[in-house]
Structure 1
Amino acid sequence: MADVDAINVFNITVRGSDVVAPCPETERVLIALEQAAPFPKPKPVNVGCRKGGCGACRIRVLSGDYTTIKMSRAHVTEAEEADGYVLACRVFPASDMEIEPAFLTPHERMEMRKAERD
């Protein structure tokens, strides 16, 4: 029998909901969250393009370790990323995580950018 490396599975807890999604370290957090809330249950975070470009799945990581792949800076600035904001479709868990949805409407995003400039 071939020796197979074990894949770690971590729990993703969504603050303010009863969702706890098991997520393998090789899977994007968004996929695990979608599977944890099958239709017709509402998704714990918004789902959009699944490729890091739309910002619909923006979350804030409150605790836990993770790795990210390239995501649009239009939706998560470097400063925001340093504060734990990421796109769930671009995040892989490295430990158990607690997250909260952090979607911004285009108007909210525009107001935030304006405040940063002032």
Structure 2
Amino acid sequence: MMFLYVAIGGFFGAIARYGVSQLIKQNTSNFPFATFFVNTVGSFLLGIIIGSVFPSSMRLFFGVGFLGSFTTYSTLIVENVKLILEGKYKIMFLYSFLSYIIGFALAFLGLIIGISLEK
């Protein structure tokens, strides 16, 4: 049954990820806003889930399944490699810096919020 929670969550997370990518098209900018958005929002939401005492089925569905397929480390890395190959070093450093610093800060904030919801 646990695999089913992860699979169904992953299905919806992948669809949500694709939907965000379609909404945030990169027509005018070299900055990968769609990936930045899903990764930072996903970090925040996962922090809340980890900080809270949700049943294991909800953690598997949302944390592992949905957010596991909604966020994307591999795309972040490939986008950085493409920016390097295109000689867009400033954008690559900005993207990396903001992704990790803001992602970390939002995960921390989410964790604090999740913990405080349990009190």
Q: Which has the higher contact order (CA 8 A, sep 6+)?
A: 2
Q: Which has the higher strand share?
A: 1
- What TM-score results when the alignment is normalised by the length of structure 1? 0.30
- What TM-score results when the alignment is normalised by the length of structure 2? 0.30
Q: Which has the higher helix share?
A: 2
